Amino acid sequence: MAAVTAKQVLWYIPNQIGYMRVLTAVGSLFLMSKHPKWTTLIYGVSCLLDALDGTMARKYNQTSGFGAVLDMVTDRSTTSSLICFLCVLYPSWAPLFQLLVSLDLSSHYMHMYATLSSGGASHKKIEKEQWLLNLYYSRRSVLFTICAFNELFYLGLYLYGFPQLAHFQVLGLGSVHIGGFIALVCLPGYVFKQIANIVQLNRAAMMLATKDAQDASARQRMQ
């Protein structure tokens, strides 16, 4: 059997889906300021493809380190890009959005780095004692739902910045903007995601500090 080449890995089916995610996400950026409906559609396609690449990787046995990193980088980049535009729509809330971007990026980077530094095979392998992260990463249905709520919450805030879009009547609430309604419905899942980011950041910091302490102790014993 011939050896697998780097070029073949780059063109694995899930990685091709990843490239489509990048292209659709980039396309949405150029539409974001003036075409909210098209932006929502194209950005939504990019997010939906995120659920497909993992399925294809398992179906065709084409999992790869490159694919895992491509998936995470694309996730963080697309969400951060949307939040950047929210800073334009809601300048007074920019400091909060900046903190949320920083939390998202730092928690995922530190988590992956800590996992690799500790010899772990995947950042999604979480011990049961970390019940919240274990629930989040070990059950695909939970992971998909929470990530969908997170993206839809930001999309709802984005749409809310365009007053000309549809309003409808909601019992007890009166006239509600479609974007505000989406954000409100997705708020619980969004809050869960931010808490998971904080827990993930703390876990990664403890993993790195524990390894540093072990290395320091080993050096002391050798002196």
Would you list the DSSP string of 134-180?
HHHHH-HHHHHHHHHHHHHHHHHHHHHT-TTS-EEEETTTEEEEHHH
Model confidence pLDDT, tens digit, residues 179-192? 999 999 999 999 99
Model confidence pLDDT, tens digit, residues 4-55? 899 999 999 999 999 999 999 999 999 999 999 999 999 999 988 888 888 8
Encoding tokens for residue 160?
A: 């809310």
Residues 80, 102 within the same domain? no
Q: Which of 73, 89, 105 is the last residue in one of the domains?
A: 89
Number of Cβ within 10 Å of residue 160's Cβ equals 20
Contact 66, 11 (CB under 8 A): no
pTM of the entire predicted model: 0.88
Mean of the per-residue pLDDT values of the chain: 89
The DSSP symbol for 92 reads G
Encoding tokens for residue 93?
A: 């809330």
Which of the residues are catalytic?
75
Residues 3, 74 within the same domain? yes
Angle at 53 between CA 189 and CA 138, to 5 degrees: 50
Residues 148, 182 within the same domain? yes
Which domain does 202 fall in, by range?
93-223
Phi, then psi, of 176 in degrees rounded to 5: -125, 135
Residues 54, 128 within the same domain? no
Distance CA 157, CA 75 (A): 18
pLDDT, residue 23, reads 95
Distance CA 166, CA 187 (A): 20
Distance CA 26, CA 170 (A): 35
